[in-house]
Amino acid sequence: MDERAEWGREGDWSFMPADEMKALEEAATLERHVHDDESSTKIAQRILDDASIAAAQSIVQIATKDPSSSVRLRAASYVIDRALGKAGAEPNKANPWDELFSEVAEEVKAKRDR
């Protein structure tokens, strides 16, 4: 069997240095041996969960520090869309800020009425 097919490496991977690809394959083999009772999907989900904090920090850094204003705008838009939802995507869904402001207003009113 072709090694690329075995590891799910279909397509053009010429951009990846051979030593880095070998390291990824060794890491995948280790994950399968350590978690042999888990599906590939479960293993992949755990790896992505583990990397999600660093990825989020990276996106925020790009949004605030990239020299290109268009790159900053795209990254910032992504952050806002993920945090607040895309505008108009769910017209019946309440804006999370509206709920927060409403709760604060109610708390202030309750304290004032005491």
| pLDDT < 70: residue spans in the chain | 1-10, 87-96
- Measured between alpha carbons, how far is 84 from 77 in angstroms, rounded to an integer? 10
Q: Which residues contact 62 (CB under 8 A, 6 or more apart)?
A: 71, 72, 75
Rounded to two decimals, the pTM is 0.53
pLDDT confidence of residue 98: 77
Provide the pLDDT for residue 72. Answer: 94
Which pLDDT value is given to residue 83?
83
Rounded Cα–Cα distance for residues 63 and 77 (Å): 8
User: pLDDT, tens digit, for every residue of 32-55?
Assistant: 899 889 898 998 898 899 999 999
* Predicted local confidence at residue 71, as pLDDT: 94
